[in-house]
Amino acid sequence: MNILFFGRRFTYFRNFDTVLRELASRGHLIHLAVERETEEGRPLVEGLIAEYPNNISVGLAPGRTDDDWSWVVSRLRPGLEYLRYQHKLFDDTPMLRERSRERTPGFFVSLGEQVRRHARWTRRPIEAFLRWLERAIPDDPAIRAYIDEQRPDLVLVTPLIALGSSQIDYVRLARSQGIPTALCVWSWDHLSSKALIRELPDRVFVWNDTQKREAQTLHRIPASQIVVTGAQCFDKWFDRAPSRDRETFCRQIGLPADRPILLYVCSAPFSGSPPEAPFIVDWIRRIRTSNSTRLRNTPILVRPHPSRRPEWEGIDLTPFPDVVLWGSDPLDAAARADYFDSLYHSAAVAGLNTSAFIEAGILGRPVHTILLPEWYESQMGTVHFRYLFEAGGGLLTSATSYDEHLAQLDQALAQPSTEIKPFVREFVRPRGLDVAATPVFVEQVEAMKGITVAPLTEPRLRGLAFWILNKVLSWRQDRDREHLLYSERELNKIARMRNLHQIKAARERAKRDRDRAIKEQKLAARERARKERELVVKAMKAAAKEQRRT
């Protein structure tokens, strides 16, 4: 098959590297299309192309043309997202709702708040009306031409639920041409914490029954179109052996090998959350001053999160004996070996909220966290974090105080366990611990060849929709309606730009005034000089006349 795989950036293919390799090894042709080319994830993609030069290629996909229709789309889609977050499921997740609010035009923010406070039952009819308007917007000719040029047998897309993405248009135009489409869910939180699936693909590949329920209840995907494959991105951690023995590993990172290691895995909290590094320093200090001799002496390995590495600049861990900061993003073989060995040679794992918890669970390592008010938004303030307590009886051991947390860690180090909890089977490999997800995923992709694609229907009363949309367009430059048509972020940007323009205009006026004053001064000086010359000439003439008279 000729497969066109849309990813927003290169890094999104990291969770499907095993799938891409398997598809290529079976002879399929895969073109990886990204909306933005960045350095992050580029080595992975280049490595895949080098490994399968005849089967895998990569290129830049066109985004939606920056025109009036694109502007309308950028009003309606965030509005739909914000209405989604008025669901009661998100009442305990204020940060998710706030993150959406900042990107939503003011009209929809006010509408959403009224819906939540007074009439939640109106959310779905309002969403249906907005979807009708959004579907009436004309297709983008550049995207249509791109798909025509690629001539794929199948279109895969990830993550699809990113705000500001053109991936909705890719799916819609592929379906309009009868090309089967599938959403490949990228991560464990994407169906609960990101945008809506606004264009229904033919298949949605999910990890487990938890995500299947999310797809049905939150995104209204029919069960017949959802395929549970398991989490293919974790296949690489099963049935793997460490790359070095414990003595070698500990010697390399600078920790003693005679005691159980406590591993702290850093997270990537919400934007605006406090930095995690100072919290970890305090966490280490409490461990080193605890009543337990075991905790005071246990070696501690801290793995920084790749996106938050700058937090550690200027932080000194040397006052704490047997504590090291070590590890990099596990993108290549060597970094993955480092990461696996860190988990394998640890007796217990701690952190706030990270997918590393799941990887630790795959290796049978006990996973611990502490629930503190300052981290609520990044932990219980998200939907997906709760699955660590619920799925398969739970994976995570939590505490609400430091005393309780330290006691739990002490117990875990005193009686190290390598038991794989039922959570791993239910959340990661629902078809069985010995059934890898990658082959299942690939077989389901191959099964899509030639399936009948339901034709897209023309929105009813499209003329009326166009009239409404054009009315909104006519307000685009109306400053009195800006607070309704633009988001808080956009209004701040507009205010900054206007302020810059005002500063620039003031500088230009001041420059013109200075230039005019200088010109006037020069003219006045020339006029004085002229008059002085006239006076001199007049005096000389008078003197000459007087001389002739005498």
Q: Report the CATH number that the domain containing residue 397 is assigned in CATH.
A: 3.40.50.2000
What CA–CA distance (Å, rounded) separates 422 from 199?
34
Q: Where does a domain end: 383, 417, 446?
A: 446
Please indicate, yes or no, if residue 81 is contained in any of the structural domains: no
In this predicted structure, what is the pLDDT of residue 270? 67
Q: One-letter amino acid identity for 223?
A: A
Is the same domain home to 297 and 156?
no
Burial letters 236-273, b for 16+ CB under 10 A, else e: bbbeeebeeeeeebbeebebeeeeebbbbbbbbbbeee
Residue 247 and residue 225 in one domain: no
Same domain, 243 and 230: no
Among the listed residues 228, 177, 187, 180, the one whose alpha carbon sits nearest the alpha carbon of residue 204: 228
The secondary structure of residue 207, as a DSSP letter, is S
CB atoms near residue 26 (< 10 Å): 13
Which segments in the chain show pLDDT lower than 70? 163-165, 269-272, 550
The answer to the question of residue 433 being in a domain is no
Whether residues 305 and 364 fall in one domain = yes
pLDDT at 271: 67
Tell me, yes or no, whether 296 lies in a domain: yes
pLDDT at residue 163, rounded to an integer: 65
Residue 378 lies in a domain: yes
Q: Collect all residues with Cβ–Cβ distance below 8 Å to 405 and sequence separation of at least 6.
A: 368, 370, 399
Strands in 473-547 per DSSP E: none
346 and 308 fall within a common domain: yes
The verdict on whether omega for the bond into residue 159 sits within 30 degrees of 0, i.e. cis, is: yes
Among the listed residues 388, 455, 446, 421, the one whose alpha carbon sits nearest the alpha carbon of residue 179:
455
Query: Which tokens sit at 358?
Result: 């799941």
What is the extent of the structural domain holding 496? 487-550
Question: Do 255 and 227 share a domain, yes or no?
Answer: no
Report yes or no on 465 lying in a domain. Answer: no
Domain identity same for 207 and 274: no
Residue 166 lies in a domain: yes
Nearest residue to 213 via CA among 81, 387, 357: 387
Residue 133 maps to a domain: no
Q: What is the pLDDT of residue 164?
A: 59
Query: Is 472 within the bounds of a domain?
Result: no
Position 87 scores a pLDDT of 86
Q: Are 266 and 246 in contact (CB under 8 A)?
A: no
pTM recorded for the entire structure = 0.86
Is residue 485 within 8 Å of 107, Cβ to Cβ?
Answer: yes
pLDDT score recorded for residue 269? 67
How many angstroms separate the CA atoms of 240 and 546, rounded? 119
Q: Which residue is associated with the tokens 């229709």? A: 69
pLDDT at position 390 is 92
Same domain, 270 and 249: yes
E strand intervals along 84-221: 154-158, 181-184, 203-206
Q: Specify whether 396 is located in the same domain as 364.
A: yes
Compute the distance between CA of residue 330 and CA of residue 206 in angstroms, rounded to an integer: 23
Whether residues 388 and 320 fall in one domain: yes
Residue ranges of E strands in 19-63: 29-34, 56-60
The gap between the terminal CA atoms of the chain, to the nearest Å, is 119
Nearest one of 120, 124, 128 to 88, comparing CA atoms: 120
Each residue of 349-389: pLDDT tens digit? 999 999 999 999 999 999 999 999 999 888 898 888 999 99
Between CA 1 and CA 286 the distance in angstroms is: 57
Strand order, beta sheet including 2-7: 56-60, 29-34, 2-7, 154-158, 181-184, 203-206, 226-228
Judgement on whether residues 169 and 210 belong to the same structural domain of the protein: yes
| Number of domains within the chain | 3
Rounded-to-integer distance, Cα 110 and Cα 79, Å: 10
Q: What angle do CA 123, 127, 132 make, to 5 degrees?
A: 155
Cβ neighbours of 451 (radius 10 Å): 11
For residue 148 the two structure tokens come to: 């025509």
Report the length, in residues, of the chain: 550
SS3 at position 38? coil
Residue 146 and residue 294 in one domain: no
